[in-house]
Amino acid sequence: MIHPRSDQEPEIGFAARAPEPDLRDPALYVNRELSLLEFNRRVLEQAKDPATPLLERLRFLTICSTNLDEFFEIRVSGLKQQVAFDVASPGPDGLTPIETLQRVSVEAHALVDEQYRVLNEVLLPALEAQQIRLLKRAVWTPRQARWIRRYFNQEVLPLLTPMGLDPSHPFPRILNKSLHFVVQVEGEDAFGRDSGVAVVGVPRALPRLIALPEAVADGPNDFVLLSSIVHAHVDELFPGMNVTSCHQFRVTRNSDLWVEEEEVDDLLRAIKGELSARNFGDAVRLEVASDIGDEMARFLLEKFELGPADLYRVNGPVNMHRLAAIWELAARPELKYPPFVPAVPKRLSQATDVFDAIRRGDLLLHHPFESFTPVLDLARAAATDPNVVAIKQTLYRTGSDSPMADALLQAAKNGKEVTAVIELRARFDEAANIDLATRLQEAGAKVVYGIVAHKIHAKMMLVVRREGRRLRSYVHLGTGNYHAKTARAYTDVSLFTCDRELCQDVHDLFQQMTGLGRVTRLRKLKQAPFHLQHDLLELIAFEASEARRGRPARIAAKMNALVDPTVIQALYAASRAGVEIDLLVRGICCLRPGVPGVSETIRVRSIVGRFLEHARVFHFHHAGQDLTFGSSADWMQRNFYSRVETCFPILDERLAARLRDETLETYLEDDTQAWVLEASGKYARAKPHAGLRRCAQVDLLARFSA
């Protein structure tokens, strides 16, 4: 435990003279949902930035769209549930759930309108100028139209099932985020029915973007949307009838799994049962073609039990994410980020024995600038080394066809004692994690699904190896998941160590997760849900006490989200004492910096660039001791109270200094991809420095490629 110094020097500084503000005043907090929408605005700005390669701009646009899908599936659905249950209590920002929903609707509609404006007025014309075209029905040549008709008849029509609506054919169950058309027709069918309305669902097995073959294309990269193909030939689904209108629509549903963990005896079976229900949760948003009539829009809203505020009219494909396929299909590398080869530290690249390399001293990796391969190498070496007797690992997200999973399966087959703590409730990865858990169990590994009411979010691997007459432990601790693909797209930190106390802490934590026993104080690791928040508050309070005594005091921290009001209040108090505080918060930030008398010394930046900023790194000056930590946890209530998290110290002073430089100071100098949070809760681009502009991610790529 870290305690403040006990010397009795008098406290000085402006905080003692300033009137005491109420640090719980709602005016001092940004609404978390509105802050998340602000983050998506910053992502959208990348799509508008001419300095970003063109195909990457399209990719950022589709990422913004996908983020918004999840926002509705999880956050908006949660707000709607609170309103349905008459939850009226406001959050720290003072807004009630219904007030938040109203504000969210205004902001989300504006964001969606801007997305489609950017698509239609900016990106599609820019892509066409580069001979990458998304062809609308009106511009198909006769030769293209003939090929598309053949494609429809051969590949699409056999899979379509139009549903005419009448008393024996009620409105069908619509799968979450699936593509459908609502069609109005005139005339009687073969059975004398004249309902006038049908629904056409488009199977997910069909590709949503089709590249025209060279024989009919007018350029090297001509594409057609499946929605355009179906729309052009929808009359063939209703022979003898007159189609008067056809409009695409998509409904977004509540996708948060609900499992009453204390009431089930098998969590895996319960989650399996809930996965199918996710596709048919309560509707929360309806997207329709912009030219749909008001009467038909009201008809669909009524069927999904939604109100006018839940309707989003869009001028383009209802699922913009499908356009991401253009990035993959267009062979135009000059319109993408240049490729890079992640570096490997010399000690690891020249080592024939990864265990020997770790014994020679702690190792730090900064992904994706440095390769994730050494993490896989440790697992693979442990799986085949005859001296390794046990491997324990937490798994939150690994991805499909995971090399990390393959290593653990091989270790189990080789007779190692393999323990995998798999978090089944990793949102949207539940099915993959269930499959992994099943395969590991079949291979003979011990599989634990976590702890009731607590997600296992810590990233830890423990390898126990017999060396002579003793057992030695080796540990990997990380800020990111054991996911080889995202390790090339997310910035994260890995630490390899065989420090005896850190290894014992990791061992104790695994014992705690898999067995039974009281909470014990760890030696060097900080752990949620028991001590992490308390320890962080102590560290913040110590900086405040130093500042009051007129001594240097500074906090610099990087994270994905800052939400916890208790920590925010502690940061406000530290700022009032005079602590210099620099925060790099990629996504949600509920703190308001720069408020006179409250947060004047706090600066908040968000970096949005090529790589998703995912690392959590915390630094405290601590009277010149320069305490630096990596962590799996953001500063959110869920991380402090309802997740198992780790916060690990960087004990080697040289590595700690390097980590501060690469993850904090370099990013604080960024004036290219940085956004500065204002007291209003809005973000503005960082002002460029005099002279050469700095881009942290580009600088780090250059540094590690040298």
Of 17-21, 411-415, 494-498, minimum mean pLDDT range:
17-21
Evaluate whether residue 658 is within a structural domain. yes
Evaluate whether residue 203 is within a structural domain. yes
Judge if 512 and 386 occupy the same domain: yes
Judge if 562 and 519 occupy the same domain: no
Tally Cβ neighbours within 10 Å of residue 537: 17
Give residue-wise pLDDT tens across range 450-466. 676 778 889 999 999 99
How do strand 643-649 and strand 526-528 relate by DSSP bridges? antiparallel
Evaluate whether residue 673 is within a structural domain. yes
Distance CA 602, CA 677 (A): 10
Residue 104, judged by CB atoms within 10 A of its CB (0-12, 13-18, 19+), counts as: buried
The pair of three-digit structure tokens given for residue 488, joined into one six-digit string? 């090339």
pLDDT at residue 518 in the model: 76
Residue 291 φ then ψ, to 5°: -95, 10
Q: Are 571 and 6 in contact (CB under 8 A)?
A: no
Query: 407: domain CATH number?
Result: 3.30.870.10
Distance CA 613, CA 299 (A): 43
Q: Are 176 and 318 in contact (CB under 8 A)?
A: no
Of 2-16, 154-168, 500-514, 533-547, minimum mean pLDDT range:
2-16
Residue 542 corresponds to which amino acid? Answer: F
Distance CA 170, CA 97 (A): 33
Q: What's the 3-state SS for 91-151?
A: CCCCCCHHHHHHHHHHHHHHHHHHHHHHHHHHHHHHHHHCCEEECCHHHCCHHHHHHHHHH
Nearest residue to 642 via CA among 505, 466, 514, 451: 451
Host domain of residue 534: 527-705
Overall average pLDDT of the 550-563 stretch? 98
Residue 299 corresponds to which amino acid? Answer: F
Residue where a domain stops, chosen among 523, 551, 581: 523
The pair of three-digit structure tokens given for residue 503, joined into one six-digit string? 């290894």
Judge if 557 and 622 occupy the same domain: yes
Judge if 694 and 618 occupy the same domain: yes
Q: How far is CA 618 from the centre of its chain?
A: 20
Distance CA 418, CA 410 (A): 10
Judge if 258 and 399 occupy the same domain: no
> Number of C-alpha atoms within 13 angstroms, CB side, residue 416?
31
Judge if 548 and 485 occupy the same domain: no
Overall average pLDDT of the 466-494 stretch? 94
pLDDT at 70 over 50: yes
pLDDT band for 111, please (50, 70, 90 cuts).
very high
The strands making up 221-225's β-sheet, listed across from edge to edge, are 132-134, 221-225, 209-211
pLDDT at 698 over 60: yes
Distance CA 27, CA 680 (A): 10
pLDDT at 187 over 70: yes
Judge if 511 and 562 occupy the same domain: no
pLDDT at residue 438 in the model: 77
* DSSP code per residue over 223-281: EEEHHHHHHHTGGGGSTTSEEEEEEEEEEEE-------GGG-S-HHHHHHHHHHHHTTS
Evaluate whether residue 464 is within a structural domain. yes
- pLDDT mean across residues, the chain: 90
Cα distances from 483 to residues 45, 396, 401, 429, 480, in angstroms, run: 28, 9, 10, 12, 8
Judge if 559 and 483 occupy the same domain: no
pLDDT at residue 605 in the model: 98
Overall average pLDDT of the 165-181 stretch? 85
* pTM score: 0.91
Q: What percent of the chain has pLDDT over 90?
A: 76
551 CB contacts (<8 Å, ≥6 apart)?
A: 623
Give residue-wise pLDDT tens across range 637-651. 999 998 999 999 999
Overall average pLDDT of the 261-289 stretch? 62
379 CB contacts (<8 Å, ≥6 apart)?
A: 391, 393, 404, 407, 408, 411, 461
Q: Look at residue 470 and give its three-state secondary structure.
A: strand
Give residue-wise pLDDT tens across range 501-539. 999 999 999 998 887 777 778 999 999 999 999 999 999
Give the active site residue among 247, 366, 367, 457: 457
Distance CA 315, CA 309 (A): 18
Assess whether 169 carries a catalytic annotation: no
Residue 140 corresponds to which amino acid? Answer: W
Give residue-wise pLDDT tens across range 391-434. 999 987 776 678 988 999 999 999 999 998 887 654 555 666 67
The pair of three-digit structure tokens given for residue 324, joined into one six-digit string? 């991401």
pLDDT at residue 192 in the model: 63
Judge if 358 and 229 occupy the same domain: no
Q: Are 658 and 626 in contact (CB under 8 A)?
A: no
Evaluate whether residue 59 is within a structural domain. no
Overall average pLDDT of the 644-672 stretch? 97
Evaluate whether residue 2 is within a structural domain. no
> Number of C-alpha atoms within 13 angstroms, CB side, residue 418?
30
Nearest residue to 362 via CA among 607, 620, 596, 650: 650
Residue 329 φ then ψ, to 5°: -85, -30
140 CB contacts (<8 Å, ≥6 apart)?
A: 148, 224
Evaluate whether residue 317 is within a structural domain. yes
Tally Cβ neighbours within 10 Å of residue 605: 22
The pair of three-digit structure tokens given for residue 224, joined into one six-digit string? 């057609």
- Terminal CA-CA length for the chain: 41
Q: Please tell me the total count of domains within the chain.
A: 3
Judge if 265 and 409 occupy the same domain: no
Evaluate whether residue 548 is within a structural domain. yes
The pair of three-digit structure tokens given for residue 528, joined into one six-digit string? 């949620």
Residue 9, judged by CB atoms within 10 A of its CB (0-12, 13-18, 19+), counts as: exposed
Judge if 434 and 573 occupy the same domain: no
pLDDT at residue 165 in the model: 84
Judge if 298 and 430 occupy the same domain: no
84 CB contacts (<8 Å, ≥6 apart)?
A: none
Give residue-wise pLDDT tens across range 25-54. 999 999 999 999 999 999 999 999 999 999
The pair of three-digit structure tokens given for residue 509, joined into one six-digit string? 């934590």
Residue where a domain stops, chosen among 478, 494, 523: 523
Residue where a domain stops, chosen among 488, 523, 558: 523
Query: 218: domain CATH number?
Result: 3.30.1840.10
Q: Is 622 left (phi over 0), alpha (psi -120 to 50) or beta?
A: left
Tally Cβ neighbours within 10 Å of residue 334: 9
